[in-house]
């Protein structure tokens, strides 16, 4: 039996539902796993079952799974406790790996966020920032590995159920797990004709006639619709391969993050587009669009104030 | 001052919360609060984005009811762009919504709240969960895992991506449903419908009868209600008008974009979560003996405000429910019963929509043009009425966002229910994990999502 602890930090819960979406193979895995902590499904508490302890405590485990980045001091504390108690720590999903969608908050200073939420919202009766008995928010959103050491990364918003199964199976066999360094385009069924793109359009209409099958359709980027597939890691489609958003006749927005460590997808995408003569100004809201899921680790920063 | 009991984290709910219970010198409860301990700030960081991108950004508000945010957002965008979407697109969106509801309600009843009833409220905490259920009734567990997973599979076939979908777009729906895909989904939908029928029978025979006393006594409070109905008063989860009911059952209907006339949000210093209340009540108070402005959303609220359900099997269950419990029902734990009636309604609705040949039309996406505007999009999320309100500049870039999620509406009611349950169950300083779990059951009835609620 392998002991597993699961925690969620600055999250939506989609990665936890992805674990449930493994479906029947999950029942096959269960006899080899012993879940010792998982707040979504189980009642283990941080400070003892009736709150009798003074220190936050998570049980020891061979495998720790953490989804979500870090947005407050409690989440930082839980991340540290998970690292202390788990032999192998998995960062599950793009929030844990790169900050995820909530990382978009890194484009504005924290006081502006509070100002909007508690004093500048249409139906809200303005008041001071809540703080009594609440964990303090951190200055920005952090990816998990900016706070503790991470052993295995499974990106995606959310990740694919099969990748969770593969990771757990590998760890049960004593092996590590990493996704191959392929791009979304490597698994995209649309046809590329390698002809220059002439403009960048916003997705305000269907990129292709909807009577057409996907395999008969041309590459959405070649048709002028911004797709960050070329600079995004593949894997979202699981064994079916076909990238999920493409399957929905929509372009990729980069939820699996960079293809390999150390690269800069925004710079790569921009140089690829400029090399074929496209004006970058045609992409509205460029930094946040090209780095939508990877805003932690210093990628998205407060914007200069407009005058 | 007496002792303070802190339950952290609240478990088998979505998102992050803690319960703080204050005892007096005699060991009786003097106060109890549910504190939401997270905040991400979507209303701030959605500003500056191209509005057509929001339906695929706001999904990350919630990993469970991502379809609700996706659809509310697409509807808000439709209104911003001033477009009437093609009828087939509306049907595809409603289909996705109903599939997502079946998946969600199965998840809540069996994976989250069910253990309190099937294992017992004061069972050992290490077994009081879905893994405990799997050990006790393995065949049922297998069925549950399969049927919930079928929901995800249907949504994948329908839209490409089941969690954090992309297919609802301003102007319609991006992916057509091919005949072969329709057939594939249909056979799964029939299986889920059978399971929905089984679930309500099972609950009525094996689960609820043991807890009839608890229904009448645990966490009962008196509030108003909010939900969505069609023009004829029947329940609608995708589109309709809002109906707000006062605690004595008198109601008023209004359009989505009038919500600011009816709802205001109060702030307390001890939780990141706001407290929406009925403006017309003239103020806000969570005093258990004299509450003011407090209303509830989610399953029980919807069954209280509606006049009927448009599918036959669910309508039968609804009639029995209303005859047995009256209108409006105030018993908090009956949220679970109402949830199973809604599970059946949605399972039937999925099959109904799949039988409509128009759903396979490829006329599903109307082109839109950026403009300055405001749009309010509203759907019923599994956890309650969900409102997205956007404003844009002439280039279609977002300038303002206001969101009220299903659980946000229930914040005051959840706090009151917990206080009620704590007062009634903790006496003279006596409590254990089972008693504290009963307090948490008052929260679970609402199937809350703190991530959605604080967004």
Query: How far is A166 from B328, CA to CA, in rounded Å?
Result: 49
From CA B362, how far away is CA B87, in angstroms rounded? 11
Burial class for B1, CB neighbours closer than 10 Å (0-12, 13-18, 19+)? exposed
SS in 3 state form for A143-185? CHHHCCCCCEEECCCCCCHHHHHHHHHHHHCCCCCCCCCCEHH
CB-CB neighbours of B189 under 10 Å = 27
Task: Note the pLDDT of residue A306.
Answer: 59
- A304 pLDDT tier (thresholds 50, 70, 90): confident
The number of beta carbons lying within 10 Å of the beta carbon of residue A303 is 11
Contact B175 A16 (CB under 8 A): no
What confidence tier does A278 reach under pLDDT thresholds 50, 70, 90?
confident
pTM: 0.98
- Which domains, ranges and CATH numbers included, belong to chain A? 2-172 (3.40.50.700), 180-296 (no CATH)
Whether residue A6 contacts residue A13, with contact meaning beta carbons closer than 8 Å, is answered with no
Determine the 3-state secondary structure of B405 from DSSP.
coil
Nearest chain B CA: its distance from A126 CA (Å) = 8
Which residues does chain B have within 8 Å of residue A211's beta carbon, measured at their own beta carbons?
176, 362
Mutate which of B3, B5, B16 to test chain A, going by most A C-beta atoms within 10 A? B16
Best of A19, A52, A101, A251 to mutate (most B CBs within 10 Å, chain B): A101
* CA separation for the pair A222, A217 (Å, rounded): 11
Does the pLDDT value for residue B220 go beyond 90? yes
Q: ipTM of this complex > 0.90?
A: yes
Residue B86: phi and psi, rounded to 5, are: -60, 150
Whether residue A113 contacts residue A107, with contact meaning beta carbons closer than 8 Å, is answered with no
Task: Please name the residue ranges forming H helices in B331-430.
Answer: 334-354, 406-409, 411-425
Tokens 């293809």 belong to: A259
Name which of A290, A24, A278 is nearest B142 in CA terms.
A24
Q: Is the pLDDT of residue A277 over 90?
A: no
Cβ contact, residue pair A285, B15, below 8 Å: no
Q: What are the tens digits of pLDDT across the range B101-146?
A: 999 999 999 999 999 999 999 999 999 999 999 999 999 999 999 9
Q: Find, among A72, A74, A76, A88, the residue nearest to A6 by Cα.
A: A88
* Mean pLDDT computed over A31-55: 96
Q: For residue B116, what is the nearest residue in chain A, using CA coordinates? A: A43
- Work out the pLDDT band at B418, boundaries 50, 70, 90: very high
Output the pLDDT for position A273: 87
Pairs of CB atoms within 8 A across A/B: 273
Count CB-CB contacts under 10 A for residue B6: 15
Percent of chain A with pLDDT over 90: 87
| β-sheet bridge partners, residue A142 | A70
- For residue B241, the surrounding DSSP H or E stretch is strand B241-245
Distance (Å, whole) CA B135 – CA B93: 37
* pLDDT tens digits along A124-161: 999 999 999 999 999 999 999 999 999 999 999 999 99
Q: What is the tens place of the pLDDT at every residue in A193-240?
A: 887 777 899 999 999 999 999 999 999 999 999 999 999 999 999 999
Mean pLDDT of B264-274: 98
Q: Which of A21-30, B66-75, B224-233 has the lowest mean pLDDT?
A: A21-30
List, for residues B367-391, the tens digit of each pLDDT value. Answer: 999 999 999 999 999 999 999 999 9
Chain B residues whose beta carbon lies within 8 Å of the beta carbon of residue A132: 269-270
Q: How far is CA B454 from the centre of its chain?
A: 14
């Amino acid at each position: 039996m392998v002991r597993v602890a699961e925690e969620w930090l600055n999250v939506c819960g989609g990665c936890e539902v992805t674990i449930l979406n493994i479906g029947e193979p999950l029942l096959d895995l269960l006899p080899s796993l012993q879940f010792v902590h998982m707040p979504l499904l189980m009642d283990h508490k941080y400070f003892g079952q009736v709150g009798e302890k003074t220190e936050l405590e998570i049980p020891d485990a061979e495998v720790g799974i953490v989804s979500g980045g870090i947005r407050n001091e409690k989440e930082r504390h839980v991340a540290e406790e998970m690292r202390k108690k788990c032999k192998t720590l998995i960062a599950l999903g793009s929030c844990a790996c790169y900050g995820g969608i909530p990382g978009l908050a890194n484009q504005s200073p924290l006081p502006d966020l509070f100002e909007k939420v508690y004093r500048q919202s249409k139906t809200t009766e303005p008041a001071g920032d809540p703080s009594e008995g609440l964990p303090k928010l951190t200055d920005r959103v952090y990816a998990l590995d900016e706070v503790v050491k991470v052993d295995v990364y499974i990106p995606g918003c959310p990740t694919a159920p099969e990748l969770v199964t593969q990771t757990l199976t590998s760890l049960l066999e004593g092996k590590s797990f990493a996704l191959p360094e392929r791009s979304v385009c490597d698994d995209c069924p649309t046809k590329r004709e390698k002809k220059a793109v002439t403009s960048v359009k916003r997705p305000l209409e269907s990129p292709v006639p909807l009577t057409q099958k996907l395999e008969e359709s041309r590459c959405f980027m070649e048709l002028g619709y911004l797709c960050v597939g070329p600079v995004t890691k593949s894997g979202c489609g699981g064994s079916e391969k076909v990238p999920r958003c493409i399957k929905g006749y929509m372009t990729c927005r980069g939820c699996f993050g960079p293809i390999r460590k150390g690269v800069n997808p925004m710079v790569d995408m921009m140089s690829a587009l400029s090399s074929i003569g496209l004006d970058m100004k045609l992409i509205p809201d460029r930094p946040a669009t090209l780095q939508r899921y990877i805003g932690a680790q210093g990628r998205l920063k407060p914007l200069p104030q407009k005058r | 001052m007496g002792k303070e009991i802190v339950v952290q984290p609240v478990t088998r709910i979505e998102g992050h919360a803690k319960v703080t219970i204050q005892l007096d010198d005699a060991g009786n409860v003097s106060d109890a609060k549910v504190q939401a301990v997270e905040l991400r700030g979507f209303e701030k960081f959605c500003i500056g984005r191209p509005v057509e991108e929001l339906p695929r950004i706001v999904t990350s508000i919630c990993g469970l009811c991502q379809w609700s945010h996706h659809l509310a957002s697409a509807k808000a965008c439709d209104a911003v762009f001033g477009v009437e979407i093609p009828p087939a697109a509306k049907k595809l969106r409603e289909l996705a919504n109903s599939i997502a509801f079946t998946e969600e309600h199965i998840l809540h009843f069996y994976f989250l709240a069910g253990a309190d009833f099937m294992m017992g409220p004061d069972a050992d905490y290490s077994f009081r969960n879905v893994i405990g259920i799997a050990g006790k009734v393995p065949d049922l567990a297998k069925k549950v895992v399969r049927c919930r997973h079928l929901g995800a599979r249907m949504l994948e076939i329908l839209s490409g991506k089941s969690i954090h979908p992309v297919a609802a777009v301003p102007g319609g729906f991006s992916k057509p449903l091919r005949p072969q895909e329709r057939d594939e989904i249909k056979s799964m939908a029939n299986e889920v419908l059978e399971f929905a029928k089984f679930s309500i029978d099972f609950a009525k025979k094996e689960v609820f009868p043991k807890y009839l006393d608890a229904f009448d006594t645990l966490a009962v409070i008196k509030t108003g209600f909010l939900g969505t109905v069609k023009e004829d008063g029947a329940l609608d989860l995708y589109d309709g008008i809002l109906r707000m009911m006062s605690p004595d059952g008198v109601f008023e209907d209004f359009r989505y974009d009038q919500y600011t006339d009816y709802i205001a949000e109060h702030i307390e210093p001890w939780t990141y979560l706001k407290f929406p209340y009925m403006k017309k009540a003239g103020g806000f108070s969570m005093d258990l003996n004299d509450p003011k402005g407090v209303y509830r959303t989610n399953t029980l609220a919807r069954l209280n405000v509606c006049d009927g359900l448009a599918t036959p099997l669910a309508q039968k269950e609804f009639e029995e429910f209303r005859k047995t419990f009256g209108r409006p029902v105030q018993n908090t734990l009956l949220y679970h019963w109402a949830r199973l009636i809604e599970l059946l309604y949605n399972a039937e609705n999925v099959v109904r929509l799949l039988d409509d040949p128009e759903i396979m039309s490829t006329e599903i996406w109307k082109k839109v043009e950026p403009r300055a505007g405001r749009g309010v999009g509203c759907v019923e999320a599994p956890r309650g009425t969900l409102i997205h309100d956007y404003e844009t500049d002439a280039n279609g870039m977002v300038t303002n966002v206001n969101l009220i999620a299903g659980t946000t509406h229930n914040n005051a009611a959840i706090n009151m229910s917990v206080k009620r349950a704590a007062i009634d169950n903790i006496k003279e300083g006596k409590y254990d994990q089972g008693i504290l779990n009963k307090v948490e059951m008052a929260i679970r009835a609402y199937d809350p999502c703190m991530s959605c609620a604080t967004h």
